[in-house]
Amino acid sequence: MRRRDFLAGLLATTGAGALRAAEPNKVYRLAVCSQFGMESFSTPPWAWLFERLQMGFVEGKNLIIDRYATEGRPDRYAEVARNIVQATPDVIALGFDHQLILQVAKETTTIPIVATFGDPVVLEL
């Protein structure tokens, strides 16, 4: 199994598990945020996440996905983090950017944050 597939699967099952824990007829809200542009949501690893969420969730029916992007501008992290938390999602999924993760974590202590995107070996982490 490739590491990328494993990480994407881990995120999907972690996020999906947190979403599935409640009522079966509830509409769940997932906030996703990329440190790149909105176009990045159609490419891996985001595409892998959305593909795996289709195993039980239908966007617009029992799942709402709020997409946020910082467009590669760290000066937008605080504003985007506030907007994400104000939307009160059930789970927040973030790209692998330490500063973005820290900014979102400053805004909430109650919403689960999943940040496992990226290949730690390639990123030299």
Question: How does pLDDT run across 9-33, given as a tens digit for each residue?
Answer: 555 555 555 555 556 788 999 999 9
22 HSE (CA, 13 A, CB side): 13
Q: Does domain 3-114 have CATH number 3.30.390.50?
A: no
Q: How confident is the model over 1-5, as a mean pLDDT?
A: 54
pLDDT for the residue numbered 9: 58
DSSP-assigned letters across all residues of 9-31: HHHHHHHHHHHHTS-TTPPEEEE
pLDDT for the residue numbered 90: 96
Cβ(49)–Cβ(32) below 8 Å: yes
Residue 68, CA distances (Å) to 6, 21, 120 in order: 24, 25, 23
pLDDT for the residue numbered 33: 93
pLDDT for the residue numbered 10: 52
**Torsions phi, psi for 66 (to 5 deg):** -95, 120
123 pLDDT exceeds 50?
no
Tokens linked to 69: 């992007």
Question: How does pLDDT run across 45-100, given as a tens digit for each residue?
Answer: 888 888 888 788 888 899 999 999 999 899 999 999 999 999 999 999 998 788 99
